[in-house]
Structure 1
Amino acid sequence: MREQQNCMEKLVFVTSLTCLMVVGYGIVGFPCILPYFYTGAAPFLVGLRIWLYWGVKWQLFLVDFCYFANLLLYIYLWACPGTEEVFCVVFAVANGPLLFAIITYRNTLAFHSLDRMTSVFIHILPALTTFAIRWYPSTSMPWYTSFASIDLGADDRLPWEWIVAVPFGFYVLHTIMYFTVVYICVKPDEQYWDTYRYMTGSSGGIISKVLNVFGPKYKPVVFVTLSWLYTLMTMLIGVLWFKYFYAHCVFLSIIGLVLIWNGASFYLDVFSEKGLDAEPYRFCVKPSEAK
């Protein structure tokens, strides 16, 4: 069993680095491959995550906003790639809350870990794909139809309603539906984790203290309100990435450095002591056997 586990994680390591090289090549030399790469990678990784998370009772994570944002990008790519309004919405969610989630949730370049690398790809691939579409018109050439081309015009007018208002409304609607279905209708047992329980699980952390400022009764309200403010802030900042090419490049580079730093910290501070026990589960462990 140990040899099989090591073999599978070596395979994940090699695959992760190969995918990283493909994405890097796509960004600097051949951006038209990114929509195709995303089209193949996203359903494969999400499918594996569904299989693994269902076994460890983490399936509520699978209805987080980031998965709906990836679904929205998928719909845009294959249903309406020429629609400017839809592209603006997709760009806003991909380069706003999804990119900032890498910092918030401390995503890590741990190349042997399917779970950690899946989180990285889910959060950064939509941003890289929309980066290619926004700034490299040649991306459209091998696609079945032309992508939306955004021209701000001589007055440099931004489509605020589509780059901020509509995507933020989409996030608000998702939050309301999520809490209504999960915590009012379904009411899952405490052994089922989701983002809300993950973020509020620490009893002595700063986040926990902030959420309890008005007492435990109002903790969900405070959590939702802060998440809305946080998302709106990331979308407003994301307007800079939509408007300025170099600002977009710099921020994506910063996100890359954050991923590298988190990866170095993981391997030197955590993995060096705990080894493969640092993982929440091993890749080849059947979900029914996961603890």
Structure 2
Amino acid sequence: MYDFILVKTRFEVGCQGSSSDKMGPPQIYQLSPELDFYVGENTNEELDYNQIDLVGDISSTVRVEDKILFTFFSMDTILTPFLAGLFPHYFFIWHTLKACFLLPFRLWFYKRENMHYFLFDFCYFVNMLLLLYLWLIPPGLFAGNVFAILFCYVNGPLLWGIPMWRNSLVFHSVDKMTSFYLHISPAMAVTSLRWHSMDGYTTCPTDLTGDTCSLSVTEFLLYPIIGFILWQAIYFLWVDLIRKKHVQRNKIYTSYSWMIEHVTKGFSYHIVHLFGPRWCKPMYMVVQISYYILFMIPSYLLYYSAEVNVLALIAFVSVACWNGAQYYIDVFSERYHLHVEKLR
């Protein structure tokens, strides 16, 4: 199944460029290590009849896979808020079950695409910290501090990452739905525990009973900012110093290299390139630190109001719905038709 998902995902990525009215030679992608057949490099060699039949089978199978994934993720989108409302105390279990499926797939797919160093990014760090809090960190004052830090992260930078990185509800795409999950599901899990705490979880750093959670703005933001700076330092040490030659030698993508090579417009692009190529990396780090700290601040309001917290979640889900609608109506309908026609 994963091999056909890979074909579909690669066609989505491969169609990011401008389209042309002229149909060139067939575009070929490697389908799997076991299948010695390609459709992506331009070639003048004619395909034999067996290959043509195989391409037809692939196009049919990809469409079936798309339908299955669309159905699965559509039902998940209905089931997730239903469970969050009916069983808020236990929503973290549903969050964990989805993590057990989506995160290994993301690792597998990114490893094949030489993009696995994306998994050192901040959103993955926060997701792993949440799983540690849910299943390994025992109740106590330390757990309460971790929860406050998590609340700041997931209702701050992770939620704001939905409009910033244009997360979208594209139900047939495992890749896009995983990105959406990484940003919205942690916020739903932490919000459920914040307002519907249960035995075994400490959700207040200053009161182990969980009855009150009184924190000043400084107290609320101090530890998250310290934690983010520590993550940034470790990331820089590991990716940009210790593993620098390995990354360059194997042409592994990182968030920074992807932005430099693929992002050519926008506010962040102009800030990063403000002082020329030599200063791109320091400016990238400045932009990243500024962005994360800036969007930690609004989460303080959400920490003290269940109504505002829920309205914020609805607002960011609405943004993902809008992005998905734009993708399906303005982009995907034409791309998908062209991609299936090429596979025939």
In structure 1, the partner of 2:161 is 101
Q: Note if contact 2:145-2:204 (Cα within 8 Å) is conserved in structure 1.
A: no
Q: How does 1:254-273 map to 2 (within 5 A)?
A: 254-273=315-334
Structure 2 alignment gaps of length 5 or more: 1-57, 340-344
Q: Tell me, in whole angstroms, the C-alpha distance in 2 between the residues paired with 1:155 and 1:55.
A: 47
Query: Does 2:226 correspond to 1:165?
Result: no
Q: Give the SS at the match of 1:77.
A: helix
Equivalent residue in structure 2 for 1:37, among 71, 77, 94: 94
Structure 1 alignment gaps of length 5 or more: 279-291
Equivalent residue in structure 1 for 2:299, among 217, 232, 238: 238
Counterparts in 2 of 1:159 and 1:72: CA distance versus 1, 3 Å:
farther
Matched residue type, 1:259: A
Tell me by how many angstroms 1:88 deviates. Answer: 0.6
Q: Note if contact 2:268-2:287 (Cα within 8 Å) is conserved in structure 1.
A: no
Equivalent residue in structure 2 for 1:214, among 275, 280, 304: 275
Equivalent residue in structure 2 for 1:113, among 170, 173, 192: 173
Please say which of residues 245-254 and 100-109 is displaced more in the overlay.
245-254
In structure 1, the partner of 2:311 is 250
Query: Does 2:79 correspond to 1:18?
Result: no
In structure 2, the partner of 1:148 is 202
Q: How big is the alpha-carbon RMSD for the aligned residues of Structure 1 and Structure 2?
A: 2.3
Q: Note if contact 1:199-1:207 (Cα within 8 Å) is conserved in structure 2.
A: no
Larger radius of gyration: 2
In structure 2, the partner of 1:203 is 264
Give deviations 1:196-243, integer Å, cap 9, x for gaps: 223333234432221111221111111111211111111111111111
Q: Give the SS at the match of 1:96.
A: helix
Please say which of residues 259-268 and 182-191 is displaced more in the overlay.
182-191
Counterparts in 2 of 1:31 and 1:277: CA distance versus 1, 3 Å:
farther
Q: Note if contact 1:89-1:162 (Cα within 8 Å) is conserved in structure 2.
A: no
Counterparts in 2 of 1:111 and 1:162: CA distance versus 1, 3 Å:
farther
Give deviations 1:108-144, integer Å, cap 9, x for gaps: 100000000000111111000011001123xx2xxxx
Counterparts in 2 of 1:151 and 1:89: CA distance versus 1, 3 Å:
closer
Q: Note if contact 1:38-1:125 (Cα within 8 Å) is conserved in structure 2.
A: yes
Q: Tell me, in whole angstroms, the C-alpha distance in 2 between the residues paired with 1:263 and 1:210.
A: 28
TM-score if structure 2 supplies the norm length?
Answer: 0.73
In structure 1, the partner of 2:241 is 184
Q: Tell me, in whole angstroms, the C-alpha distance in 2 between the residues paired with 1:48 and 1:22.
A: 21
Q: Give the SS at the match of 2:319.
A: helix
Equivalent residue in structure 2 for 1:125, among 173, 178, 185: 185
Q: Tell me, in whole angstroms, the C-alpha distance in 2 between the residues paired with 1:155 and 1:118.
A: 34
Matched residue type, 2:150: V
Q: Larger relative contact order (C-alpha < 8 A, sep ≥ 6)?
A: 1
Matched residue type, 2:220: I
Q: Give the SS at the match of 2:88.
A: coil
Q: Tell me, in whole angstroms, the C-alpha distance in 2 between the residues paired with 1:41 and 1:152.
A: 31
Q: Tell me, in whole angstroms, the C-alpha distance in 2 between the residues paired with 1:155 and 1:4.
A: 55
Q: Note if contact 1:53-1:59 (Cα within 8 Å) is conserved in structure 2.
A: yes
Tell me by how many angstroms 1:277 deviates. Answer: 7.0
Q: Tell me, in whole angstroms, the C-alpha distance in 2 between the residues paired with 1:95 and 1:252.
A: 8
Q: Tell me, in whole angstroms, the C-alpha distance in 1 between the residues paired with 2:227 and 2:327.
A: 34
Query: Does 2:144 correspond to 1:87?
Result: no
TM-score if structure 1 supplies the norm length?
Answer: 0.86
Q: Tell me, in whole angstroms, the C-alpha distance in 1 between the residues paired with 2:259 and 2:184.
A: 21
Q: Tell me, in whole angstroms, the C-alpha distance in 1 between the residues paired with 2:203 and 2:233.
A: 33
Q: Note if contact 1:93-1:167 (Cα within 8 Å) is conserved in structure 2.
A: yes
Please say which of residues 266-275 and 197-206 is displaced more in the overlay.
197-206
Matched residues, percent identical?
Answer: 29
